[in-house]
Structure formats: C-alpha cells, structure tokens
Amino acid sequence: MPLEKHSFLKEFPDHHHTIRHLKMNDAHFAKLFDEYNALDHDIYNVESSGSVVADEELERKKLRRVELKDALLSQVKKEEALQ
C-alpha cells in the first residue's frame, strides 16, 4: 500500500473555506493546524525513509495526530454551526 500524507485540507475538502477562515482568524486553531501538519510530515518522512524509530514513538505521534485531527474538526463543525 503506497504511503500518503494526511493533510487536513485533503482529508476534509468540503470544509475548505471554514478551515481557511479559522486559520486566518483563530490563533489557537492555526497553532493546532500547524502542529498537525508538522506531525503528519514527520510521520510520512519516517515511514517513507525506513528510518529506525521505536514503534512506541511512531505510535505516539500517530495518536497525537488523531487527537489533533479530532480537535480541529470539532472546531470546524462548531464554526459551521454558527454560520
């Protein structure tokens, strides 16, 4: 199975406008968004390069990515409910 990045925008293209709005107007959202993307990039690099990384470390990163994705999506849905 080919590796792929899990960009938040790619994962949720239907929420593109709300995500962009939150990135520009909500500092907390922007910080989480940047952390998510940096973590996703790091995970992709580890998996694609075959680097030796402890399984626990990689799993910790993946769990954090899921936590961030849930938090970001929750904020997106709250924002869209207000519109």
Q: What is the pLDDT of residues 4-30, one digit of tens each?
A: 788 899 999 999 999 999 999 999 999
* pLDDT for 37: 95
* pLDDT for 5: 80
Question: Using one digit for the tens of pLDDT, what is the confidence trace for 33-53?
Answer: 999 999 999 999 888 887 777
Per residue, what are the HEC states of the chain?
A: CCCCCCCHHHHCHHHHHHHHHHHHHCHHHHHHHHHHHHHHHHHHHHHHHCCCCCHHHHHHHHHHHHHHHHHHHHHHHHHHHHC
Domain boundaries of the chain, sorted by first residue: 8-82
* pLDDT for 2: 58
Which pTM was predicted? 0.88
